[in-house]
Amino acid sequence: MGAMLNAGEIRARLEDESLGFAGSLRGDALLLRLGAPLLALVDAPAEPVDLADQGSIDAAYREPLEAWEQFVLPPGCMVLVPAAEEVRLPMDISGLIGTLSHLARLGLTCHLGSALVMAGWQGHITFELFNAGPASLRLYRAMPIARLVLFPMSGKPQLGAGGPHASYGSPHQLSSRYADEFARALTQGPLG
């Protein structure tokens, strides 16, 4: 990745509509807030989650909380929440998600996995909120949670085989779709 876009470059991209975002900026980044629904994992599944079985993965989640306003996140627990704002990146811009440092200093992280947002992304980013601190944390819907720093891409971006899963970016499809995408590779063995 090259040098990140500054606030002036971001505003120019918003004005010419090559970048889509209805929220606000914080410094040289897009400010992301918590949206809805909120999806929590079950406390302790009776059986291990089988990563080659989408039904087993789906059983690891509780029912989504559509109209949540507050949620207490205990230490060592994780919930999934979409960003309130939809983001539309052009094919020449990618991004990195960073938890607001004020929250990180309390043990909250907003993205356990890859913080990369691919060029061409369109939709609601899903946050993997994890409480690594010693105290329970009260989350509020619409609270600022993260910044999305934008970077110009060099060369033409390459999407994975078959492109992203059809549900990526939907605020109502937060759970893992791992088996839907990779189960065949898992069942064929390590060298398939």
Give the C-alpha separation, 6 to 143, whole Å: 23
Structural domain that includes position 77: 7-41+51-154
Residue 115 lies in a domain: yes
Residue 169 lies in a domain: no
Residues 6+ apart with CB under 8 A from 181: 165
Give the C-alpha separation, 32 to 82, whole Å: 10
pLDDT at position 161 is: 38
Residue 166 lies in a domain: no
pLDDT above 80 for 131 = yes
Residues facing residue 39 across a β-bridge: 80
Average pLDDT over residues 8-19: 97
Residue 162 lies in a domain: no
Q: Considering 9, 86, 128, 181, which one is annotated as catalytic? A: 128
Residue 192 lies in a domain: no
pLDDT at position 174 is: 86
Task: Look at the chain and report how many structural domains it folds into.
Answer: 1
Average pLDDT over residues 20-28: 96
Q: Which pLDDT tens digit goes with each residue over 41-83?
A: 998 777 899 999 999 999 999 999 999 999 999 999 999 999 9
pLDDT at position 47 is: 86
Is 128 a known active-site residue? yes
Residue 176 lies in a domain: no
Residue 131 lies in a domain: yes
* Percentage of the chain lying above the pLDDT 70 cut: 87
- Answer yes or no: are the C-beta atoms of 151 and 62 closer than 8 Å: no
Residue 2 lies in a domain: no
Residue labelled with tokens 């929250």: 103
3-state secondary structure of 12: helix
Q: Residue 137 sits in a domain of what CATH number?
A: 2.70.40.10
